[in-house]
Amino acid sequence: MTKQKKKSEILYFALRNNRLRVGLAVVLFFLVLTFVGPLFTEYSPDDYVGPSAQPPSPEYWFGTTTFGQDVFTQFVLGLKATFLVGVVGGGLGTLIGVLVGFIAGYQGGIVDEILNTLTNIVLVIPTLAILLIIAAYLEVRGILTESIFIGCTAWPWAARAIRAQTFSLRSRDFVDLARMSGMKPRKIIFTEIAPNMMSYLFMTFILQFGGAILIAATLDFIGLGPTRGISLGLMMNNAVLWSALHLGMWWWFIPPGVAITAIVGALYVMNVGLDEVFNPKLREM
């Protein structure tokens, strides 16, 4: 009974925040495209469906590649891969970040010192370089393995943010009050501290989601993408390898870039909108 009032209040402000609405609309559009898209095309990404290097036409909405593959099919399936990387990579990154951040923030002392140093180290190392080496050595690379690697190296940002947030919440009196009510530390973290950070966790996830997509696209572009299947980064890589530029086949490399930029950009804008919604100071005004 106590939570409804708070939830409806947040919802009320969320719906009126246009940054959030725009961001959400763009992301949902691409999400729908991911599910609906494959219905419109019966080819698979690598099939040779028609004459090569065709500009977009009613027959091939996004035209065809130098090998006559249907760009639209590649685009739609590439989208699926991108979202998968975002969810798995971003999700894993947030999860590890939350765990490290929570434990370091709540425990404090030596535990915090060690975890914090670890976070700083992983933060400083250019994680892409590590991914490079790992991916290069792997014989078979699937979308899943790539996402897991990205997740395992993208968590420091989340860990730092959540650690700071936990620190500030831990020193609040209501945590002491909970301890004086005989609650065990684990219960305190999940019933007292975590709910306060729900908005924070969600925003961290959005940033991780966007970050994962960008890293994945870069990896695929360098040629370390999934050996089987297709992804937006891989499309761009192929486009460059087969000199789509010189042949003026803009329809091959423009759509994937637009999709990535739109999704990640929409996520960032959503994040700003959410910040305004969840920030009580702004709401109280």
Partner 1 sequence: MLRLDGLSKVYKVGTFGGKELHAVSDVTFDVRDREVVSLIGESGSGKSTIGKMILRLIPESSGMIRFNGVDISTLKGGALKEYYRNVQGVFQDPFSSYNPIFKADRVFGMIREEFYPEMKDHEWNDKIDSSLKAVGLNPDDVLDKFPHQLSGGQLQRFLIARALLLDIQFLVADEIISMLDASTRIDVLNLLADLKSRGLSILFITHDLSLGYYISERAVILYRGCVVEMGSTERIFDNPLHPYTTMLMAAVPRLDKKWEQVEVELKAKQSEYTGGCAYYERCPLADKDRACATERPTLIEAERDHFVACRKL
Partner 2 sequence: MSLQVENLTVYYQTLKGRVRALEGATFAIADGEIMGLAGESGCGKTTLGNSLIRLTPRMRYIDGSVELDDEELPIWDAEKMNPFRFKKVSIIPQYAMSAMNPTRKIGKMTAELLESRKVSFKATLPELKRRLDLVELSHDVLDMYPIELSGGMKQRAVMVLSTLLNPSLLIADEITSALDVSTQKAVAEMLVEFRDREFVKSMIVITHDISILYQIADSIMIMYAGQLAEKASTNVIIHFPRHPYTKLLISSLPKVGVKHSERRLAGIPGKPPLLLDPPAGCRFRERCPGASERCLERPPFIEIEKGHFVACWKEFEKNA
Partner 3 sequence: MRRYFGRKLLIYMLTFFLAVTIDWLIPRFMPGNPVQTLLGRADLHAEAAEVMYGYYTRAFGLDVSIWQQYLNFWKALFHGDLGTSVFLFPMPVLEAIKNAIPYDIFLLLPAILLSWFAGNKFGAFAARRKWLDNTVLPLGYILTATPYMWLGLLLAWALGIVLDVFPISGAYSYAMVPSFSWAFIKSLLTHWFLPFASIFMVKFGGWAIGMRNMIIYELEADYSHYLEALGAPRKLIRKYAFRNAILPQITGLALDLGVIVAGALATEIVFSYPGIGYLILQAIQNQDYFLLQGCFLFIIIGVLLANFAIDIAYVLVDPRTRMGMQGEAA
Positions that interact with partner 1 (CB under 8 A)? 2-3, 5-6, 172-174, 176-183, 192, 195-196, 280, 284
**Which region, left, alpha or beta, applies to residue 279 given φ > 0 means left and ψ of -120 to 50 means alpha?**
beta
Q: Which does 221 bind (CB under 5 to 8 A by kind): partner 1, partner 2, partner 3, none?
A: partner 3
* Near partner 3 in 121-180, by CB under 8 A: 121, 123-130, 132-134, 136-138
How many residues in total does the chain contain?
A: 285
Q: Does 1 bind partner 2 (CB under 8 A)?
A: no
Instruction: CB nearer to partner 1: give 46 or 275.
Output: 275
Residue linked to tokens 């961290």: 204
Instruction: CB nearer to partner 3: give 106 or 252.
Output: 252
Cβ of residue 282: shortest distance to partner 2, in angstroms?
Answer: 9
Cβ of residue 103: shortest distance to partner 1, in angstroms?
Answer: 20
CB distance 140 to 126 below 8 Å? no
Instruction: CB nearer to partner 2: give 45 or 273.
Output: 273
Site string for partner 2, 256-285 (x = CB under 8 A): ---------------------------xxx
**Largest interatomic CA distance in the chain:** 75
Instruction: CB nearer to partner 2: give 16 or 172.
Output: 16
Burial of 31-68, coded b for 16+ CB within 10 Å and e otherwise, reads eebbeebbeebebebeeebeeebbeeeeebbbbbbbee
Q: Does 261 bind partner 3 (CB under 8 A)?
A: yes
Q: Does 5 bind partner 2 (CB under 8 A)?
A: no
**Tokens read off for 185:** 């530390």
- Measured between alpha carbons, how far is 267 from 209 in angstroms, rounded to an integer? 8
Site string for partner 3, 201-220 (x = CB under 8 A): ---------x---xx-xx--
Q: Which residues bind to partner 3, rule: CB under 8 A?
A: 117, 120-121, 123-130, 132-134, 136-138, 210, 214-215, 217-218, 221-224, 233, 236, 239-240, 245-246, 248, 250, 253-254, 256-257, 260-265, 267-269, 272
Binding site for partner 2 (CB under 8 A): 283-285
